Amino acid sequence: MLSKSFAAALLSCVFMTQGVASAQTAPAPKGDRILAIDVSGRQAELIDPVFVSQYFAGIQSIQLMLDWTDIEIAPGVYDAPYLKALNDYYSAFGIAINLTIRPVDAGHKNVPPDLLGVPFDDPRMIFRFFRVLDYVFSQLPTVTLTSLGIGNEVDEYLRYFPGELTAYKQFYDWSNYYAKQLRPGIKIGVSANLGALLSPRYSELAWLNQYSDVLMVLYYPMNVAWSAETGEISLFEVRAPSEVGPDVDRLSGLFPGIHMQFKEAGYPTCGVCGSSEELQRQFISAMFSAWDAHRDQIDLVTFFRYSDFSPDEIDHYADYYRSQSVQFRSFLGTLGLRTWPANGQFKPAFTQLAIEARTRGW
């Protein structure tokens, strides 16, 4: 691991060589807003990505997503010792965690095998998840939790299994209530894609969020289509960064009374998706401008992600999302603000992130 002083000097030299525009409009001061980044990944980093993000962009929080089965490894057996290590590490550096536990994630029911056939509103399912919450909070006693997500990309899960909405709402509402007994004041939500929140499915997702403290949003401005024959993604192309502001305006208009957290905000650089590093840079600026415009409603934005996915991660997620299309795989492989592998290059978007953050006081 390089020393922090040497790493800072090295990275400063790298950024000074990038021709990246400064913030163009008068930015709003950061206020109480929380700036976050997703630093997950399997590759070893030459320089600690949390330190880099905190040093250059003032990042206050990182994202941590865990499947239920990452925690309960056998019925009633909980073993996730890395949680205590994360608690100690991030507490020491003053970094918070945006935590999501995933009983569902996209099209998957990520529960212990003995519960796969059990409905979500069954007491056995609910009380087993209560024990998961007991364990997780016991392992994270001192780190600040900016929020707790109970389920991720729930719109996709309900697209595959529309009949489970009522049962999952019961599970979510009870889990929401119980988590607040363990950690009073914690903000709780369930994440969905912005496109689904703006679609005719708005009403079911609004009902699911009836008792949420925050609306958790996943945002990738893409035009998406599925093959009627195979169900695979047949079109996956970027939308212009200029559409970010109108998208966020519409979302705010549909959910005027609830605070929001953008759990993921990302934009690929792949040419096959119609994108480029310059468009990704513009997306960063557009996202900050939209955040400024709705700063009283949007509490947190997590930029996704620090580094591009590695080849094995691309294979994993292409299988996970049931699509091997070239566009989708390229999307997965170019979402980072830095190229893969560990000795990759920072893209202009990372420098733009630092500029936009610093001009607002982060």
What pLDDT digit, counting tens, does each position of 22-64 carry?
A: 555 689 999 999 999 999 875 556 678 999 999 999 999 999 9
- The answer on pLDDT for 271 being more than 70 is yes
Predicted local confidence at residue 26, as pLDDT: 86
Question: At 321, is the pLDDT very low, low, confident or very high (cuts 50, 70, 90)?
Answer: very high
Does 16 have pLDDT greater than 90?
A: no
| Residue 145: exposure state from Cβ atoms within 10 A (0-12, 13-18, ≥19) | buried
If pLDDT is split at 50, 70 and 90, which confidence band does 12 have?
Answer: low
Distances (CA, A) of 334 to 16, 100, 114, 328, 347: 23, 23, 37, 10, 10
- The position carrying tokens 């040093």 is 55
Burial class (CB in 10 A: 0-12, 13-18, 19+), 54: buried
Q: What's the pLDDT band for 17 if we cut at 50, 70, 90?
A: very low
pLDDT at position 229 over 90? no
The number of beta carbons lying within 10 Å of the beta carbon of residue 87 is 16
Give the rounded percent of residues in the chain with a pLDDT score beyond 90: 85
Averaged over 180-193, what is the pLDDT? 98
Q: CA 318 to CA 51: how far, in whole Å?
A: 30
244: closest CA among 206, 298, 296? 298
* pLDDT of amino acid 232: 73
The CATH homologous superfamily to which domain 28-359 belongs is Glycosidases (3.20.20.80)
Q: Are 112 and 75 in contact (CB under 8 A)?
A: yes
Residue 245 has pLDDT above 70, yes or no: yes
146 pLDDT more than 50: yes
The one-letter code for the residue type at 351 is T
Q: Confidence class of residue 20 from pLDDT cuts 50, 70 and 90?
A: low
Contacts for 273 with CB less than 8 Å, ≥ 6 apart: 222, 236, 237, 238, 327, 330, 331, 334
Q: What is the pLDDT of residues 346-356, one digit of tens each?
A: 999 999 999 99
